[in-house]
Amino acid sequence: MIQSFKYTFKILKNTNGFFVSMVVMPVVMIILVSMTLAYSNTPRVGYIGDGGILSGITGISFQRIHEKDTVYFLGSTQGTLVIKINDKGGIEKYYSSIKNNPLIPIIESGLGKRADSVFREKPHISYSIGIILFKLLTAASLLAAFLVKEKSNGIFVRLKQACVSPYAFITGKALAVFSVYEIANGIILVFYKIAGFDFGKTTALKLFLLFTAALIISIGIYIYIASYIKNEGNLWIFSTGILFPLALCSGTLFPIQYMPQWMKYIAACSPQYYLLLSAVEDNIQIIPLSVMLGVSIILAVTGIRRFMKKE
């Protein structure tokens, strides 16, 4: 396994353009997307009920939401404040993701024109988490491409003759690819920290663990897929034809709470949905993620056995 890891890592390192295309460019792309989408000219506040009393306040962007979406709104850093308005048109309650939220006295006093000079939201990561998770869930397509190529070259026959375990061989390659993407994860999160991005209800450590879980799920799925296909091009069909639509329904580009119910039903089948919910809410979706991690391991073992049987 160690020899396989070193060999694969050496190949990756010595492949012209690999480091730039698979590490540097994705990191740069995600950082640019984050910087482009993170900043808003005006702070955004969610409200529940009739927002008529808020119509006279300027300098603040108000967005109507359902009460059940309050945690998601605050956790995904779409805004730092949600107002609940009662039936009489008065403010009943404030939900805030930060202590002593300076937006509250601004709203209560109605001094909307002074809002920008008094309060400025931090850049946030709500628009980039989904993109990162999708990238990680398809990251092991690189590993699958290696395995398909090695299979066509008859490597598993030679492994059998040399009494080398296919488990160790494939696991070593998986660890090499895993390490490359973990480095990229670390770079992205360090940048977010240094740049002062708002993590909402999550933390950098929690995101790193969720990104790691996404990688593990990806590796299991793609090892299994690679055991069935003979053409590397079919990997992109799987990534763009299945995983990408699932990602769209799971809130990659748009918040999940604004999607129609039928899309939410589809999202419930996607690992990205539970990873994204875990990132923006207080509680990690332990049961769904544990099941998916377990299924990923089973798929990986099954895929490796298929490689052995075919040879």
Residue 115 — very low, low, confident or very high, per pLDDT cuts 50/70/90? very low
CATH class of the 41-118 domain in this structure: alpha beta
Of the chain, the percentage scoring pLDDT greater than 70 comes to 72
Residues 6+ apart with CB under 8 A from 252: 130, 131, 133, 134, 272, 276
Maximum mean pLDDT: which of 159-163, 196-200, 282-286:
282-286
Give the pLDDT score at 284.
83
Give the pLDDT score at 210.
92
pLDDT (mean) for 61-89 = 76
β-pair partners for 105:
none
Three-state SS for 150-210 is: HHHCCHHHHHHHCCCCHHHHHHHHHHHHHHHHHHHHHHHHHHHHHCCCECCCCCHHHHHHH
* DSSP sequence for 71-104: HHHHHTTS-SEEEEE-TTSSEEEEEESSTT-THH
Domain coordinates of the chain in residue numbers? 2-37+125-310, 41-118
Confidence check: pLDDT of 206 > 50: yes
pLDDT digits over 14-53, tens only? 555 455 555 565 666 666 655 555 554 567 788 888 877 7
State which H helix or E strand residue 124 sits in.
none
Residue 118 — very low, low, confident or very high, per pLDDT cuts 50/70/90? very low
Cα angle 18, 270, 210 (rounded to 5 degrees) comes to 60
User: Identity (one letter) of the amino acid at 267?
Assistant: A
3-state secondary structure of 47: strand
Residue 80 — very low, low, confident or very high, per pLDDT cuts 50/70/90? confident
Give the pLDDT score at 112.
44
Confidence check: pLDDT of 231 > 70: yes
The predicted model scores a pTM of 0.69
Measure the CA–CA gap between 42 and 120, rounded to whole angstroms: 7
Place of tokens 């488990």: 167
- Within 13 A of 176's CA, how many CA atoms are on the CB side? 24
Measure the CA–CA gap between 261 and 285, rounded to whole angstroms: 20
Torsion-angle region of 60 (φ positive above 0: left; ψ -120 to 50: alpha; else: beta): beta
CA–chain centroid gap for 21, Å, is 20
User: Identity (one letter) of the amino acid at 21?
Assistant: S
Give the pLDDT score at 212.
94
Confidence check: pLDDT of 215 > 80: yes
